[in-house]
Structures are given as structure tokens and as C-alpha cells.
Chains A and B, each alone.
Chain A
Amino acid sequence: DQQVKQNSPSLSVQEGRISILNCDYTNSMFDYFLWYKKYPAEGPTFLISISSIKDKNEDGRFTVFLNKSAKHLSLHIVPSQPGDSAVYFCAASEDRGSTLGRLYFGRGTQLTVWP
């Protein structure tokens, strides 16, 4: 049962434009969300996170938005660059009190940024 879903397996965006990657979740106990970028044959690289007490977090070109009522989050990349081309994973965790605990991952979205 996939508790974190990324319904778009791929996204193609022109350089300089905005990339919007979407993620939906079903578990209302999730309270912390993360986005990772992954290149082939490498481990995921942490990009940005957001706690459920916030609805927006920004770090440079990356902004994550959280809509708890809709159980939806999105990652905005502005402006998009060719180097952003990678697979992007959304992940979520429940409050375990003292450790990060288990991360539930979506299946990923392949972002391609073309010149």
C-alpha cells in the first residue's frame, strides 16, 4: 500500500522556467516531509524538508508547499536549470519522538530540464 504517491512519473521543463513536482500522501500521522534528488547509480541527495506545522519552506531556488487538508505537497524549482535533471523523490515520516524513523518514499518523478 503506497502511502506516498507521486502520480507523475516524468516532467519536462524548459530551462529558466518553473518546475512543479507534486506528491500526495494518505497517512494523516505523517508530520515531516522531505524531498530528495537522485542521479543514476548514486544515493538520494537531500534537498529540502518541511514540518507539518508549516505550510511553506524556502531554500534558494527550491520551495516546498504543504497543504495538510488536501494531504498534498509540492516542490517548486525556480528557475530550472539543466543540472536539475534527475529523479525527485518525496518522502514522509511519522513522529517517533526521538529519531527520524522510517521514511516512506514515493516512486519518484523524472525531471528533465532542456535548454
Chain B
Amino acid sequence: KAGVTQTPRYLIKTRGQQVTLSCSPISGHRSVSWYQQTPGQGLQFLFEYFSETQRNKGNFPGRFSGRQFSNSRSEMNVSTLELGDSALYLCASSHYTANTEAFFGQGTRLTVV
């Protein structure tokens, strides 16, 4: 069974640009969440999607957005990139139920220069 797939693995962007990251969840998983990991803030929740609807949202500015497609695949977008957006972005998928484990992808390392 394939795991969570994130593309691309590495990305370098310039300040002011926008970026789109992609996540394919484990087959059968319908819930997808996104997290940002930085040395200073640790792992921070961005948002959670289920059935193409955003279910939860973390404390990030509106420049961070996401969506989920009917096949459960998800994308997140960051507009007007800032140097501080440099981070490892992680996608996690889980079953549609509470008290279940989330499985993470390998992440996308975004560097903003």
C-alpha cells in the first residue's frame, strides 16, 4: 500500500512569488492535513480537509490556502512568499474518524530567497 506522496520534494522560490504543493493521501484515506515545520516554531497545524471542505484551520495568514479534490488529493498554496515561509511542509492523511493515527508524507522543503 503506497504511503502519502508529496511533490515536489524540494523547491526554491523568490520572495513575492507564489507556490503550490501537492499531496496524495493513502488510498482510502479521505482526511488530509497540512503542517509547517520550522526550527523556531516546531510543527504547526495549517489546515485539515475532508470531502473537499476545510474542517479546521490553524493560525496562519490568509496567504496560506488549500483545497482538496474529489479523489482526496490536496494542494496547498502560499502566495506572496516571505523569507519566513521557508520550512518543511508536511501533509498527513487519516481515516474519516476520530482517534486515529495520521500518516505523514516525506514533506516538501521550501526555501524562499
8 Å CB contact of A45 from B42, B100, B104: B104
B45 & A98 in contact (Cβ 8 Å cutoff)? no
8 Å CB contact of A99 from B6, B97, B101, B105: B97
Chain B interface mostly: strand
- Chain B residue nearest in CB terms to A51: B99
Of the listed stretches A10-18, A19-27, A71-79, A102-110, name the one at the interface; the rest are far from the partner chain: A102-110
Question: Looking at chain B, what size class is its interface with the partner chain?
Answer: 20 to 34
Chain A interface mostly: loop
B98 & A95 in contact (Cβ 8 Å cutoff)? yes
Chain B residues near A102: list those with CB within 8 A.
Answer: 33, 45, 48, 56, 58
Question: Looking at chain A, what size class is its interface with the partner chain?
Answer: 20 to 34
8 Å CB contact of B109 from A41, A44, A45, A99: A41
5 A-B residue pairs with Cβ-Cβ distance under 8 Å, sorted by A, are A43-B106, A43-B107, A100-B99, A102-B58, A107-B42
